[in-house]
Copies of this chain bind each other. A is one copy, B any other.
Amino acid sequence: MNKTMTATKGAFPGVRHDHGDCVAGALRAAEELCAQRGARLTKLRRRVFELVWSSHAPVGAYDLLRRLARERDGAAPPTVYRALDFLRGHGLIHRIESLNAFVGCCAPGLAHAGQFLICSACGTAAEIDDPRLDAAIEKRAKALGFAIQRKTIEVEGLCPPCQARRS
């Protein structure tokens, strides 16, 4: 496996991972998906996507806006929110409800629930896709006759490096 691998699904990206590769890979995947679907990954949308992917920590919309405004005149809230809506609609990013923030999806195109472990110290979010966890939810819902439309699983805590740093 590549030393400079992209974020591994279900784990926290290593401290020394090559984030440039991360972003490049994500962008490639996004472009492929959009091409397949005839969706237009415009300059603006691509840029917002890159900004969301600028780290593995979820980013707020107004944070994105501030950064976008540096390089583009007249960027306003709708500029960002519309791009985010597009990206979300195509499963390229997720919204972290408990943080009002957005993070790149590590498995775009794959059906998955969007389960996250989020470090409250460094902000890093690890997207996990635990089939057991998913199964447990499906099972319980089925038992109650509940028809699932959308799942939000966000677990806040300390990632291993931050635990080490504290002790």
Contacts and interface: CB of A to CB of B under 8 A. Distances in A.
Interface stretch (A32-40, A53-61, A126-134): A126-134
Interface residues of A, number: 37
A137 B155 contact: yes
A114 to B, nearest CB: 11
Contacts of A98: 97, 152
A88 to B, nearest CB: 14
Nearest to A135: B136
Contacts of A158: 146-147, 149
Contacts of A97: 97-98, 152, 154
Contacts of A141: 117, 155, 157
A144 to B, nearest CB: 6
A63 interface: no
A155 B140 CA distance: 11
User: Does more than half of chain A's interface fall in helix, strand or loop, or is it mixed?
Assistant: mixed
A133 B130 contact: no
A128 B158 CA distance: 25
Interface string A1-35: 00000000011100000000000000000000000
A160 interface: yes
14 contacts: A11-B144, A12-B144, A97-B98, A117-B146, A126-B144, A130-B140, A133-B133, A145-B163, A146-B158, A146-B160, A149-B157, A150-B157, A152-B156, A153-B153
Given A126-B144, A150-B156, A152-B152, 8 more contacts: A11-B144, A128-B140, A132-B140, A137-B153, A141-B155, A145-B159, A145-B160, A146-B160
